[in-house]
């Protein structure tokens, strides 16, 4: 049965979903026992729970379970399931847009073009270069230079070069694959944006120098913990992690250095192979994630600008260049086309690891 023929905007402004007219196969008695949504830990899953998952459960009665398997680890499991005709391990993948595009190009994603709330999203929510809508970008984010206030009594650092300062040996932090840092390292290392991806040697030379600083390498929740425990002074991390530390009472700030900082997007997609009723409700979850209510609560919790017009920025981020809302804000940032990231980012991860482990 083609669900698209009978879809409606089913998320009411009240406390319940309208249950008709839907296909018989997706009536109330055919709701799945749960929806499994892959997510990141820490402030990330907390914001998703508060902004999307719990309200969705309240409206539908369907429990949402969050799978915290890392995005790069779950992707081959989903691909294998689709290739082998098995049910995928999750219903919805909250993913980087780069990884989501890899899955879309492989043909393992459901088309989401029939979701009602998509019409109210900004154009950037739709991925470029596809006939359909294999994924939906939900918000943008910046890999900021975060710093402990006490380490910078004279004001914020103005350059990524501060990471090479001998004072901070052993107190610098990056993602364990260098994600978000490669383009900034390219500029900080004296290279040009126009040389990405053909000549990344300035980035690798900068990262070689950074290795001598014995940086801490980790994932999203680690940055908040490191700042809370006083283990680091400077880091390249997504704004949300530094903000979570600050909101917990730690004196942490962030900046967009003079070289710029990488801006990117995350999105959601649904793997092929779900039973019809589970596919329907997975789509309803993604549709709800685009609603005004969910976007406001979810992205405010993360401190990130959602891709739905009319959202109110958190008070602490109004006018912050790391919360881009104007052409001037985006002009200060480094935006690498998704197709370049799809083609080269895995190689960048490998090169970064070779340097750090060498």
Distance in angstroms (rounded) separating the CA atoms of residues 94 and 48? 10
Same domain assignment for residues 204 and 238: yes
Residues of the chain with pLDDT under 50: 1-25
Q: What is the pLDDT of residue 19?
A: 37
Distance in angstroms (rounded) separating the CA atoms of residues 173 and 239? 14
The residue among 165, 176, 13, 38 whose CA lies nearest residue 100 is: 38
In a domain, 319, yes or no: no
Q: pTM of the full predicted structure?
A: 0.88
The residue among 94, 104, 36 whose CA lies nearest residue 70 is: 94
In a domain, 289, yes or no: yes
Same domain assignment for residues 219 and 236: yes
State pLDDT tens for residues 51-66.
999 999 999 999 999 9
Residue 155 contacts by C-beta under 8 Å, 6 or more apart in sequence?
none
Pairing label, strands 136-148, 252-255:
antiparallel
Q: What is the pLDDT of residue 330?
A: 87
In a domain, 307, yes or no: no
Number of domains in the chain: 2
355 membership: H or E segment, kind and range:
helix 338-357
- CATH code of the domain in which 175 resides: 3.40.190.10
Distance in angstroms (rounded) separating the CA atoms of residues 235 and 175? 9
Supply the range of the domain harboring residue 251: 142-259+329-357
Distance in angstroms (rounded) separating the CA atoms of residues 280 and 277? 5
Same domain assignment for residues 164 and 121: no
State pLDDT tens for residues 142-171.
999 999 999 999 999 999 999 999 999 999
Q: What is the pLDDT of residue 3?
A: 35
* 3-class secondary-structure state, position 106: helix
Distance in angstroms (rounded) separating the CA atoms of residues 329 and 279? 38
In a domain, 316, yes or no: no
Burial label, 2 (beta-carbon count in 10 A; 0-12, 13-18, 19+): exposed
Same domain assignment for residues 71 and 161: no
């Amino acid at each position: 049965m083609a669900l698209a023929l009978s879809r409606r905007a089913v998320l009411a402004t009240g406390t319940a979903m309208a249950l008709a007219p839907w296909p018989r196969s997706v009536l109330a008695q055919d709701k799945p026992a749960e929806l499994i949504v892959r997510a990141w830990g820490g402030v990330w899953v907390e914001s998703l729970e508060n902004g999307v998952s719990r309200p969705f459960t309240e409206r539908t009665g369907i429990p949402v379970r969050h799978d915290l398997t890392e995005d790069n680890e779950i992707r081959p499991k989903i691909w294998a399931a689709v290739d082998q005709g098995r049910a995928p391990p999750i219903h919805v993948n909250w993913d980087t847009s780069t990884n989501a595009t890899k899955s879309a190009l492989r043909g393992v994603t459901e088309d989401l073009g029939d979701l009602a709330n998509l019409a109210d999203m900004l154009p950037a929510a739709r991925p470029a270069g596809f006939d359909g809508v294999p994924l939906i970008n939900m918000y943008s984010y910046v890999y900021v230079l975060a710093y402990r206030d006490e380490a910078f009594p004279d004001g914020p650092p103005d350059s990524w070069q501060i990471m090479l300062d001998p004072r901070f040996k052993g107190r610098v932090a990056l993602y364990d694959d260098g994600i978000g840092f490669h383009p900034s390292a390219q500029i900080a290392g004296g290279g040009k944006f126009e040389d990405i991806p053909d000549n990344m040697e300035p980035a690798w030379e900068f990262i070689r120098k950074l290795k001598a600083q014995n940086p801490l390498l980790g994932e999203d929740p680690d940055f908040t913990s490191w700042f809370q425990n006083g283990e680091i002074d400077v880091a390249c991390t997504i704004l949300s992690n530094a903000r979570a530390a600050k909101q917990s009472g730690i004196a942490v700030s962030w900046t967009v250095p003079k070289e710029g900082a990488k801006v990117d997007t995350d999105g959601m997609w649904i793997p092929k192979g779900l039973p019809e009723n589970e596919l329907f409700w997975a789509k309803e979850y993604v549709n709800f994630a685009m609603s005004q209510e969910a976007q406001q609560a979810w992205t405010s919790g993360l401190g990130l600008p959602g891709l739905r017009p009319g959202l109110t920025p958190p008070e602490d981020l109004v006018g912050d260049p790391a919360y881009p809302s104007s052409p001037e804000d985006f002009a200060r940032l480094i935006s690498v086309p998704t197709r370049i990231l799809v083609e080269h980012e895995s190689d960048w991860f490998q090169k970064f690891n070779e340097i750090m482990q060498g």
